Amino acid sequence: MSRRSFLRGATQVAAAGSMIGSSAADEMAASEAAGASEVEALRGASELEISVNGKLRTVEVEPRTTLLQALRTHMEPPLTGTKEVCGMGSCGACTVLIDGQPAYSCLTLAATCAGRPITTVEGFGSPDAMSDVQQAFCDKDGMMCGFCTPGFVVATHAALERAPEADLDELKYQLSGNLCRCGTYPHVFEAAQAVQEDRARGGEGR
Ligand code: FES
Ligand code: FES
């Protein structure tokens, strides 16, 4: 097997593994496969331009560098809002949006992200100007240790975009790719429902 075909296979496996939520699985698979098929074989560290939160960022990455590593340790300044907890695609703490769809950044190779818009938790708001979801997590006490919270915030934005009128069962399904080891689920769902109610009353929907 050539190095090129190995890398291509690896990026396709990694891309498929980064998908979250079976409701979006087919769309994400097609999108990830399209991105992976355009990846050229990389040797050693290479410069890569990635669009993160609307800004082009240049990072030096190896073929094996994940998007999570690129965000947290390869950028200057680093974007540390996205958390690493399991590092193996089982908890959702590292959730970001790629092409508007939630994905595990710990399972996504940075090299597959060139030319694809990435949104991290920092892209939704700041401590001084929080998004409605971020504000609701604060108002409803949707966190304890907080390690899962950035991933939940990103996933909640995506869930409410995908299913704005979801009932509680649907919200649980939409957020089933994210785990909270502190057990704050009731507060997380309360936060999501508060945002739904606010948006239904004509809130900003940031
Ligand atoms: S850190 Fe990526 S899924 Fe857990
Ligand atoms: S608040 Fe601690 S893991 Fe969720």
Q: Among 143, 153, 178, 189, which residue has the most ligand 2 atoms within 8 Å of its CB, making it the best to mutate?
A: 143
Q: Which domains does the chain have, with CATH numbers?
A: 3-123 (3.10.20.30), 132-200 (1.10.150.120)
User: What's the CA-to-centroid distance between 89 and ligand 1, angstroms?
Assistant: 5
Q: 186: burial class by Cβ within 10 Å (0-12, 13-18, 19+)?
A: exposed
Name residue 114's amino acid: A
Instruction: Determine the pLDDT at residue 41.
Output: 64
Is the predicted pLDDT of residue 111 greater than 90, yes or no? yes
* Token pair belonging to 60: 């030096």
Q: Which atom of ligand 1 is nearest to the CA of 85?
A: 1
Which one of 16-25, 34-43, 165-174 scores highest in mean pLDDT?
165-174
Considering every ligand atom shown, identify the ligand nearest to the alpha carbon of residue 152 and give its number. 2
Pick from 106, 61, 65, 102: which is nearest to 85 by CA? 106
Q: Which of 1-5, 56-60, 126-130, 157-161 has the lowest mean pLDDT?
A: 1-5
pLDDT by residue (tens digit) across 140-157?
999 999 999 999 999 999
User: What's the CA-to-centroid distance between 176 and ligand 2, angstroms?
Assistant: 14
Q: Which of 15-29, 35-49, 97-111, 165-179 has the lowest mean pLDDT?
A: 15-29
Instruction: Determine the pLDDT at residue 80.
Output: 97
The protein residue with its alpha carbon nearest to ligand 1, atom 3, reads 89
The finding on whether 183 has its CB within 6 A of some atom of ligand 2 is: no
Q: Is 66 helix (H, G, I), strand (E, B) or coil?
A: strand
Instruction: Determine the pLDDT at residue 63.
Output: 94
Instruction: Determine the pLDDT at residue 44.
Output: 86
58, 45 Cβ separation under 8 angstroms: no
Q: What is the pTM of this model?
A: 0.83
The finding on whether 153 has its CB within 6 A of some atom of ligand 2 is: no
Tell me the pLDDT band of 48, cut-offs 50, 70 and 90: very high
Contacts for 168-174 with beta carbons within 8 Å, 24 or more apart?
168/193, 173/21, 173/23, 174/21, 174/23
94, 66 Cβ separation under 8 angstroms: no
Name residue 198's amino acid: D
Instruction: Determine the pLDDT at residue 202.
Output: 87
Instruction: Determine the pLDDT at residue 204.
Output: 61
Considering every ligand atom shown, identify the ligand nearest to the alpha carbon of residue 155 and give its number. 1
Q: Among 154, 184, 187, 189, which residue has the most ligand 2 atoms within 8 Å of its CB, making it the best to mutate?
A: 184
Q: What is the overall mean pLDDT for the chain?
A: 86
Is the predicted pLDDT of residue 6 greater than 70, yes or no? no
Cβ neighbors of 178 (< 8 A, separation 6 or more) are 91, 92, 93, 95, 148, 151, 152, 155
Considering every ligand atom shown, identify the ligand nearest to the alpha carbon of residue 84 and give its number. 1
pLDDT by residue (tens digit) across 116-140?
999 999 999 999 999 999 999 999 9
Report how far residue 5's alpha carbon sits from residue 154's, in angstroms, rounded to the nearest whole number. 33
Considering every ligand atom shown, identify the ligand nearest to the alpha carbon of residue 89 and give its number. 1
Q: Which atom of ligand 2 is nearest to the CA of 183?
A: 4
